[in-house]
Structure 1
Amino acid sequence: MTTIEDFLGATGLHPVPEALASAAQGKSHGLAHIRRPQSVDLVANAGLRTMIDLVETPRDPKRGPLFVSYYTADTPYEALATRLKASLDRLGLEHRIEPISSLGSWVANTGLKSAFIERVWQESDRPICWVDADAEMLRQPWFVHDNPFDIAIVRRQGWYELSGFVYLNKTPATGRLVQRWAQLCRENPHVWDQVLMTLARYETARDHALNSLFLPDGIFRFPRPVLRDLRDRLFYYPRKKKMRPFVDQKQASRTLKSFMDKSGKRDNERGSNDLSPEFMTALSTYDFTRAFTADSIFRT
């Protein structure tokens, strides 16, 4: 198994105070966090070119995860999941994509994600990688092959974590995180799953060693005009001014949410944009001294 140091290559790990000071002076971003509850946490910062080199590095495809997803049966997501499956087959990536029954609400349906992931993680004898059903894999995601981290997740602004693509290693620390995430989703069906995933990761890291890799959102291709794709291919990707995406994230939920919400929007739905400044600051500064709850992470 590749070590974290070997995986990161020339990107060094530094104590949190030093890493935060370095990030404040330049254009580097948090790439990895090594949680050491009884010592000083370590952080790896990296600029865009370094991140591109890391995700582009070929790794052993025989040590890849099982790609997993589900879709709500008898909805437009079924056709989208078929396209996801075809993209995984094209790249030779083993997968498990299952149908489920809709609960009648988009938020409630996304909450099923953690329960599904908990089940397939327990049943799998190797790491898994969740991909939203409304996505397609564009090319080989080398960064989840032979990956030694407990979790790899897309993160923006040092706190905004996206659950559309999540790598979960087969480690005890990951098991605690997955179990807690599923429990939080059962207890808080009105809260977005990705928010509760962030809280589960925070709670797990507060008391246990947890190694997190923070992927840039450049791994996603979000919906945009064709001319922008052409511009990026011609001018930005060759010069490493932008990351060439790995996942075509269609964001179908933005157009299908009303279709899924048979009973309309719930007044108490909570999402990432509702998080409190205190929780965002704790995440971005790697401060695990706070005892946040599913209620206290939001603005009052």
Structure 2
Amino acid sequence: MCASAERLDIRVKTTTISNQGGWEANTSFKSAYLLRERDLVSGPMLYVDVDAVFHVSPLKYLAGLDCDIAVYYDLGDGHLVSATLFLQDTKAVRHLLAEWNQQCVAHPEIWDQKVLQSIIAADQASARPRYKVFHLPVGFCWIFDREDNLRAPKQQVYIEQLQAARVVHENLRTSGKLFSIRKSKVQRRMDRIREIEDILFRHSSDGSL
């Protein structure tokens, strides 16, 4: 993530988070982290998972948005994906992050993005929504081998998510199995990472992702 941001002159801040004890607990900590960062950082704030890759700077696009929060919803089943979040510096965002964190603490067994999706859905269904929400296009949460993404009308890819979660889920799925005939999602991810690293670290700065 940092190398791809640097080549586009995007300033980033990375934070190392200690293991919270499990996958759900680790992801649920995102709400607490963003709540804290929202108070520390002035102005608009873009969050991406650490395994993301910037293809094109999204800053100009995001600067034109009129919203409190911008988030991507999966093209397949419509679930919210918290791997890319754009947060304005507003009271509404602080309230949303506080509510998200409160519910994540109360329900650590529930995936953080499911909690956030539920909060936003309830708010948007109310008579007077508190939060102004913008739905980001798929180019802000691009997954290179997702069929739904590939079938979508061609558009600019700003951020690619490399889904480190695949390793966790694949290990659970294949535990005790000797082999798999079909090329796994994890292997496809590793191949894609090698392609990107070849551009970022071996080729000249003229290389294109």
Question: What does residue 130 of structure 2 align with?
Answer: 209
The 8 Å contact of residues 149 and 211 in structure 1, kept in 2 or not, is answered as yes
Q: 1:241 to 1:211 in 2, by over 3 A?
A: same
Equivalent residue of 1:100, what SS? coil
Aligned equivalent of 2:105, options 159, 172, 186: 186
Offset of 1:182 from its aligned partner? 0.7
Offset of 1:257 from its aligned partner? 4.6
* 1:161 equivalenced with 2:83 (yes/no): no
Question: What does residue 265 of structure 1 align with?
Answer: none
1:236-263 per-position Cα deviation (integer Å, ceiling 9, x unaligned)? 9xxx941131112111111135779xxx
Equivalent residue of 1:221, what SS? coil
* Matches of 1:248 and 1:147, distance apart in 2: 20
Aligned equivalent of 2:61, options 143, 147, 156: 143
Equivalent residue of 1:162, what SS? strand
**The structure with more strand, counted as a fraction of residues:** 1
TM-score computed with the length of structure 1 as normaliser: 0.50
Q: 1:104 to 1:259 in 2, by over 3 A?
A: farther
Matches within 5 A, 1:39-188: 84-141=1-58, 142-156=60-74, 159-188=78-107
TM-score computed with the length of structure 2 as normaliser: 0.70
The letter for the 2-side match of 1:180 is E
1:3-49 per-position Cα deviation (integer Å, ceiling 9, x unaligned)? xxxxxxxxxxxxxxxxxxxxxxxxxxxxxxxxxxxxxxxxxxxxxxx
Equivalent residue of 1:121, what SS? helix
Gaps of 5+ in 2: 173-209
* Matches of 1:105 and 1:212, distance apart in 2: 30
* 1:220 equivalenced with 2:141 (yes/no): yes
* Matches of 2:130 and 2:2, distance apart in 1: 34
Offset of 1:224 from its aligned partner? 2.8
* Matches of 1:250 and 1:156, distance apart in 2: 15
Q: 1:221 to 1:210 in 2, by over 3 A?
A: closer
Gaps of 5+ in 1: 1-83, 261-300
Larger Rg: 1
